[in-house]
Amino acid sequence: MIDEVSDTLGWDRKHAIKALNGRVAHGKHAKRRGFKPTYGPAEQAVIVAIWKHSEQPCGARLKQTLPLWIDSYQARHGVVDEAVRAKILNYSPRTLDRITAPHRSAGGGRHGRKTGRASNRIKKFVPIRCGPQAFDEPGWLEADTVSHGGGSSSGAFLWSLTLTDFHSGRTELAALWGNSGGEVRVGLERIEKRLPFPMLGFDCDNGSEFLNEIVEAYLLRRNRSVEWTRSRAYKKNDQAHVEQKNFTHVRQLLGYGRFGDLELREQVNELYEKAWLPLRNHFTPVMKLIEKQRTGSKVRKKYDTPATPCDRLLACAKVSEETKIQLRATRRGLDPMDLAADIEARLGRIFTIVERIEEDRLDEMARAGEPAPRSGAAGADCVTASVAAAPYASTPSAPAENLVKTTPQNQNQTKRRVS
């Protein structure tokens, strides 16, 4: 009988014996095994509040984020008891993951990105760079663009230019009206003025927004030319750093809707420069991969201690002392809670314009007798703008875990090729 139950339900033999003896509860009546949690509502409230305001980092990064944010939290919500504060700062990354797990959203799939034609002449002298990169100083940047066309490439709309530094993880953004070479150059000039270090290298993809004569003149015709490289065609992993920032810094903030009003360019630029980037570069720790080992079919990765891009620049021996003094002064003048509140206020104004544009487009379609697009369906020429959720918006709690074991055939197994 035990064998038959195990084969039918996919249980292990020991689990089947316990279930038949009535020693295993299932579903809502299941009891939590192991030690009782050491955290209570007071600790959870502080941790979840800071976690939501700091863009919902993982446990390892949240552990480094809490000491940076807890003083700002106390200034707004009252003094946290010393015993509670000590427990919060002493929790392990795994415990922090358990505390924030019920508040995490499931998330959706990612959308593709536009590719364009490139100049064959420029391709001949811009070398390809791929594989792991290691630099001991800042200034070596990966670049990419993100479309805000709502799934359609017709007409004029907003783009975001993303630059990520290999060494520190510092990310800079600029809003562009279109992705022409001229707009990319304007965005590069705007970003380079606020970089605390000189641009030494520029690594881009094969898109026509980068491989053109305008960007060529900007990068190579200067007193100290920049080392210009490009990735292999259709190999996104060659630009893994900036591709990740495209999602965490742009898509998670602005979503996938259409930004089709020129008025939005300056508002998005102000959002980037005055609130979003100071928060991410000064108060949001990031991790760097330092070791990767393959054992058979498994790949084990080891990361360093999470640190903010600002802290990584301060710890770099090749960054001048003047730059470090300026970085410290800039961070002292910032407050993470104020920045998070400013982000929400600016996002509200931006998406008010986005919703107005969408309503006007639907009215024009109704007057022309065209059918309105179905919810969630994308047409060839127009797509309903999807409004991004607020960065620290609360998310529904996760359902209770079912302790009944699933069959091996139903378990998801993900396999990835690692270059």
- What are the Cα distances from residue 198, in Å, to 256, 386, 414? 32, 37, 41
Sign of CA dihedral 188, 210, 174, 106: negative
pLDDT exceeds cutoff 80 at 164: yes
Domain ranges of the chain: 2-34, 41-103, 120-348
Higher pLDDT, 225 or 219: 219
Closest CA to 69 of 97, 93, 49: 49
Residue 3 — pLDDT band, cuts 50, 70, 90? confident
* pTM given for the model: 0.74
Neighbouring residues of 186: CB distance < 8 A, sequence distance ≥ 6: 174, 176
The arrangement of secondary structure in 120-348, i.e. its CATH architecture, is 2-Layer Sandwich (3.30)
- What are the Cα distances from residue 100, in Å, to 49, 57, 82, 137? 10, 10, 22, 35
Q: pLDDT digits over 344-383, tens only?
A: 999 999 999 999 888 888 888 888 888 776 654 444 344 4
- pLDDT, residue 415, reads 44
Report helix, strand and coil shares of the chain as percent, to nearest 5. Answer: 45, 10, 40
For residue 229, what is the enclosing H or E element? strand 227-230
